[in-house]
């Protein structure tokens, strides 16, 4: 699409050009018209990517845009249904990540694959070393490699003692050790502090100058503009902008490309008049599972008869916010008020009794118990009400379950069978139905339509709107901006553990929302610096 703005010297064999390649220089990576379908979802619908050798190339897109799938195709985790993968002009059919690695493509996954009890050096050379491991030699070799790219690391330290940033360096070293010429980093800065992210940027630059090619998946525009050369933007499984020169674009244009022009769905359920405040969160602070700050003084309020949407890029504290309101995460400071009462320290059961319905992000494993029957899952919150002495009244529980299944249109087999056989949509109807059937006064829904088909999405959305119309206060946390624009009466944007902007969903410009999501909120100045 655009010519390379600053080519890096003469590299590689350029004569053996593969047919229709327009430029003289062969791209290090070329993905053409990649299709990948999963049951019920088309993850890549003709996506393409072209990466110049020796460059740092950003791949941008919202959640579900197909970035990860595309990268998994490139790194050999998935085989594409259609399309072509070319490395240095040569077509490849990777069957495993090992195949991809042999062709020089290494991937640093978001979830590290490290052995915590091993030392840095042991992790780096695992699967790729001499038969006899001479520790001092291996350690100095790893140190030398790290030094070459400016990666500060102590090769003899066990990995469990390392920070997230250091662990990531070990992952990068693993790929370099295996001589990866093309390095894919899947949202590498998601786990890093801002300082560490800047260091990573310098390292990537270093590697690119060394002739390696970096594919960098990110949400954060300042990083893209800060240390990437080019950017490709994906939306809906397709490439909407290919190899834009970062020098010729800006954050605002990229944000616009990421979120698209306007929502497809325009029919908005008419808003009702909002009533009293039902859910109030004040100055809430929590840590995530790793003990890092996740909520940094968050405030919000939801009124009766109102859907408040929370938009944000994954990993900015949404999960922790939902858990803290539901009583499933330790609150370090701040308060949660439900229907006017301070319930910061209440148990999940007490909060349910107060009228809080909670639809957790993890449908199976939190919201539903996978090996239990439909009935057992249907009464998870209310089994206390189906008791007769110590006994659980099976007839009453089954009756309740049958009501629920009928009312919410859950398609199931026998009610005493495990829920494992239910489809995603039916599982979610069962879960949402269970939380809504008692007429909750407050509803917290985290990613309630993720992974559902069109019908399932519509059904769940209708239920939430119905609850609002019945007077409930609904907090809807979603990564789907279309959904939020359609349903929310107020739209909040969350970034780095705080609410950084509020929009009127009807009048808001999408690119403004997009910028707020990545920490460029025009409505607030105090948002960039995370901690």
Annotate 347-395 with DSSP letters as a single string.
-HHHHHHTTEEEE-S-TBTTTB-TTSBHHHHHTTTTGGGGEETTEE-HH
Show the site string, 389-408: x = touches other proteins by CB under 8 A, - = not. Answer: -xxx-x--------------
Q: Does 1 bind other proteins (CB under 8 A)?
A: no
CB of 494 to other proteins, least distance (A): 23
How far is it, in rounded angstroms, from Cα 325 to Cα 327?
6
CB of 434 to other proteins, least distance (A): 11
Which CB sits closer to other proteins, 143 or 435?
A: 435
Task: Tell me how many degrees the CA angle 136-138-140 measures, rounded to the nearest 5.
Answer: 65
- Interface stretch with other proteins, choices 95-103, 219-227, 285-293, 463-471 (CB under 8 A): 95-103
Which CB sits closer to other proteins, 340 or 370?
A: 370
CB of 113 to other proteins, least distance (A): 5
Query: Rounded to a whole number, what is the distance in angstroms from the first to the last CA of the chain?
Result: 38
Nearest-CA neighbor of 29 among 275, 202, 232? 232
Q: Does 347 bind other proteins (CB under 8 A)?
A: yes
In the set 148, 349, 411, 458, which binds other proteins (CB under 8 A)?
349
Q: Does 531 bind other proteins (CB under 8 A)?
A: no
Q: Does 421 bind other proteins (CB under 8 A)?
A: yes
Residues in 151-210 that interact with other proteins by CB under 8 A: 158, 160
Q: Does 137 bind other proteins (CB under 8 A)?
A: no
In the set 19, 132, 270, 526, which binds other proteins (CB under 8 A)?
132
Q: Does 448 bind other proteins (CB under 8 A)?
A: no
Number of other residues whose CB lies within 10 A of the CB of residue 293:
17
In the set 201, 360, 425, 448, which binds other proteins (CB under 8 A)?
360
Locus of tokens 């969903």: 505
What tokens does 123 get? 């992790």
Q: Does 372 bind other proteins (CB under 8 A)?
A: yes
Q: Does 40 bind other proteins (CB under 8 A)?
A: no
Which CB sits closer to other proteins, 78 or 503?
A: 78
Q: Does 458 bind other proteins (CB under 8 A)?
A: no
In the set 8, 242, 301, 380, which binds other proteins (CB under 8 A)?
380
Q: Does 273 bind other proteins (CB under 8 A)?
A: no
How far is it, in rounded angstroms, from Cα 343 to Cα 492?
23
Return left, alpha or beta for 334; rule: phi > 0 is left, psi -120 to 50 is alpha, else beta: left
Residues 6+ apart with CB under 8 A from 261: 510
How far is it, in rounded angstroms, from Cα 469 to Cα 487?
12
> For 411, what's the count of Cα atoms within 13 Å in the CB-facing half-sphere?
5
CB of 117 to other proteins, least distance (A): 5
CB of 303 to other proteins, least distance (A): 26
How far is it, in rounded angstroms, from Cα 99 to Cα 79?
12
Q: Does 126 bind other proteins (CB under 8 A)?
A: yes
In the set 93, 135, 411, 458, which binds other proteins (CB under 8 A)?
135
How far is it, in rounded angstroms, from Cα 477 to Cα 66?
21
Residues in 295-334 that interact with other proteins by CB under 8 A: 326, 328
Nearest-CA neighbor of 54 among 269, 167, 212? 212
Q: Does 416 bind other proteins (CB under 8 A)?
A: no
Q: Does 265 bind other proteins (CB under 8 A)?
A: no
In the set 7, 236, 348, 355, which binds other proteins (CB under 8 A)?
348
Nearest-CA neighbor of 112 among 157, 169, 38? 169
CB of 35 to other proteins, least distance (A): 15
Q: Does 290 bind other proteins (CB under 8 A)?
A: no
How far is it, in rounded angstroms, from Cα 278 to Cα 473?
6
CB of 382 to other proteins, least distance (A): 10
Which CB sits closer to other proteins, 368 or 481?
A: 368
Q: Is 506 exposed, middle or buried (0-12, 13-18, 19+ CB in 10 A)?
A: exposed
Pairing type for strands 238-245 and 230-235 reads antiparallel
Number of other residues whose CB lies within 10 A of the CB of residue 284:
27
Binding residues (CB under 8 A) for other proteins: these are 79, 95-98, 113-118, 122, 125-135, 158, 160, 326, 328, 347-349, 352, 358, 360, 362, 365-372, 376, 379-381, 383-384, 387, 390-392, 394, 420-421
């Amino acid at each position: 699409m655009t010519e390379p703005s600053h080519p890096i010297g003469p590299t590689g064999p350029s004569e053996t050009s593969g047919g229709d390649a327009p430029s003289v220089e062969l791209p290090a990576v070329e993905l053409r018209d990649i299709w990948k379908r999963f049951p019920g979802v088309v993850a890549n619908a003709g996506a393409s990517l072209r990466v110049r050798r020796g460059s740092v190339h950003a791949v941008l897109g919202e959640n579900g845009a197909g970035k990860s799938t595309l990268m998994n195709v490139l790194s050999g985790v998935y085989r594409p249904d259609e399309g072509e993968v070319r490395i240095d002009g040569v077509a490849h059919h990777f069957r495993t990540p090992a195949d991809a690695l042999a062709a020089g493509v290494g991937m640093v996954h978001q979830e590290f694959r490290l052995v915590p009890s091993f030392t840095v050096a042991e992790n780096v050379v695992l699967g790729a070393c001499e038969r006899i491991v001479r520790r001092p030699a291996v350690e100095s070799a790893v140190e030398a490699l790290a030094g070459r790219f400016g990666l500060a690391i102590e090769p003899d330290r066990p990995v469990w003692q390392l920070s997230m940033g250091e662990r990531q360096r070990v992952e990068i070293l693993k790929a370099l050790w295996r001589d990866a010429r093309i390095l894919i980093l899947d949202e590498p800065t998601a786990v890093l502090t801002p300082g560490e992210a800047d260091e990573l940027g310098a390292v990537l630059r270093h590697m690119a100058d060394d002739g390696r090619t970096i594919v960098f998946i990110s949400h954060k525009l300042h990083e893209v503009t800060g240390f990437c050369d080019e950017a490709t933007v994906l939306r809906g499984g397709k490439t909407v902008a290919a190899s834009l020169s970062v020098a010729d674009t800006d954050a605002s244009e990229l944000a616009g490309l990421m979120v698209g022009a306007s929502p497809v769905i325009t029919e908005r359920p008419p808003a009702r008049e909002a009533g009293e405040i039902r859910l109030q969160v004040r100055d809430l602070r929590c840590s995530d599972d790793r003990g890092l700050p996740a909520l940094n003084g968050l405030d919000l309020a939801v009124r009766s008869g109102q859907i408040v949407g929370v938009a944000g890029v994954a990993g900015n504290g949404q999960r922790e916010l939902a858990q803290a309101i539901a009583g499933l995460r330790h609150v370090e400071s701040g308060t949660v008020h439900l229907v006017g009462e301070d319930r910061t320290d209440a148990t999940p059961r007490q909060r349910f009794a107060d009228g809080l319905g909670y639809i957790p992000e993890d449908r199976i494993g939190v919201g539903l118990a996978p090996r239990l029957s439909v009935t057992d899952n249907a009464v998870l919150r209310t089994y206390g009400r189906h008791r007769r002495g110590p006994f659980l009244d099976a007839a009453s529980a089954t009756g309740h379950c049958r009501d629920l299944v009928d009312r919410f249109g859950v398609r199931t087999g026998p009610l005493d069978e495990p829920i494992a056989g239910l489809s995603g949509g039916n599982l979610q109807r069962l879960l949402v139905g269970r939380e809504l059937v008692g007429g909750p006064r407050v509803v917290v829904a985290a990613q309630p339509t993720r992974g559902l088909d069109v019908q399932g999405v519509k059904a769940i959305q209708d239920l939430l709107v119905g609850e609002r119309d019945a007077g409930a206060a609904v907090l809807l946390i979603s990564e789907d901006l279309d959904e939020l624009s359609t349903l929310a009466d107020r739209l909040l944007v969350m970034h780095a553990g705080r609410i950084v902007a509020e929009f009127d969903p009807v009048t808001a410009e999408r690119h403004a929302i997009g910028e707020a999501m990545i920490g460029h909120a025009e409505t607030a100045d105090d948002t960039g610096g995370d901690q």
